[in-house]
Chain A
Amino acid sequence: MCDDGRMLFSVLVEVSLREGVADPQGATIERSLPHLGFDGVRGVRVGKSIRFDLEAADEASARAEVADLCQRFLTNPVIEDATITVTEGAHR
């Protein structure tokens, strides 16, 4: 709980390419794995993760704000999806 009664949440946004969008980085990693002796690895997809702490009145408003942030800035909805995890308390 912050001084003003608002709560602190830790947020993890995982950005991945949408299904059907080619992922040349994932494909390249997957192709190189057998050369290193790692067999049986399939479906490699490369994305990025973004973490931050967020002050909000409650969990619902925290989630709504993160969803808006993802839609307008953290992802390009034409090619990317976001998986959002919100938990109470700051990241350590």
Chain B
Amino acid sequence: MAPRVGVVQFPGSNCELDALEAVRLLGGDAEILWHGDATVAGVDAVIVPGGFAHGDYLRPGAIARFSPVMTSVMEFAESGGPVVGICNGFQVLTEAGMLPGALQKNRGLKFLCTTVELRVDSTDSVLTSEADLGAVLRVPINHFEGNYTCSPETLAELQANEQIVLRYVTNPNGSVDDIAGICNAGRNVVGLMPHPERAVSDLLGSQDGVPLLRSLLLGATASA
């Protein structure tokens, strides 16, 4: 049976359809989880997609974390379910305390919309298990607040536990330690600024997001 992936939709999300499409392309079942419903509807994995949830008012993710669905997403993650936050979804997961640190405005104050190279620095996470360690992936970024920051203690912990799963080859936004994506201690929650769902076909300029999303589908199958 194909794994079921739920893609959260907040008012202001704008990458949820891309995520649905990418999951289906890779053979998964995908459905929308409306932010106002306090359930993850029995799915096997959750994607918190990109966009501008609740208009990014106050701070990106600050209001979205209080949406009813997030309580269920947190419970799902605590029970080991795979959860991936992409771009705005990463910001939501940090605001919700599901991942450490915070994302601040890009160094240079420019909105960045380009394709970057990512290096896979750990394959021990729900989003990177099927990627090759050290592989360089070309994946688009599309953000203004993607400059990852955290306390020195948190950074040391992330490094020691190899929770920094993806790093930028050339740092575009000022993120500490070139961080593009991290996972939690349980390795079932991953947040990243780049958009793997926009790199699943040569028509989109790159297929390098495929191993990442395939990892998630495999994790979803295992959790089903």
Contacts and interface: CB of A to CB of B under 8 A. Distances in A.
Contact of B104 (A21, A28, A73, A74): A21
> Contact size class for B?
20 to 34
B150 interface: yes
A74 B107 contact: no
Interface string A73-88: 1101011000000000
A28 B106 CA distance: 12
Nearest to A79: B102
Contact of B102 (A22, A24, A25, A76): A76
A78 B147 CA distance: 13
Given A22-B147, A73-B58, A78-B149, 14 more contacts: A17-B104, A21-B149, A22-B104, A22-B149, A22-B174, A24-B108, A28-B109, A73-B66, A76-B62, A78-B94, A78-B101, A78-B102, A78-B151, A79-B104
Contacts of A17: 104
29 contacts: A17-B104, A21-B104, A21-B149, A22-B104, A22-B107, A22-B147, A22-B149, A24-B105, A24-B106, A24-B107, A24-B108, A25-B105, A25-B109, A73-B58, A73-B62, A73-B66, A74-B58, A76-B59, A76-B62, A76-B95, A76-B102, A78-B94, A78-B101, A78-B102, A78-B149, A78-B150, A78-B151, A79-B102, A79-B104
Q: Main secondary structure on chain B at its contact with chain A? A: loop
Interface of B: 58-59, 62, 66, 94-95, 100-102, 104-109, 147, 149-151, 174
Contacts of B101: 78
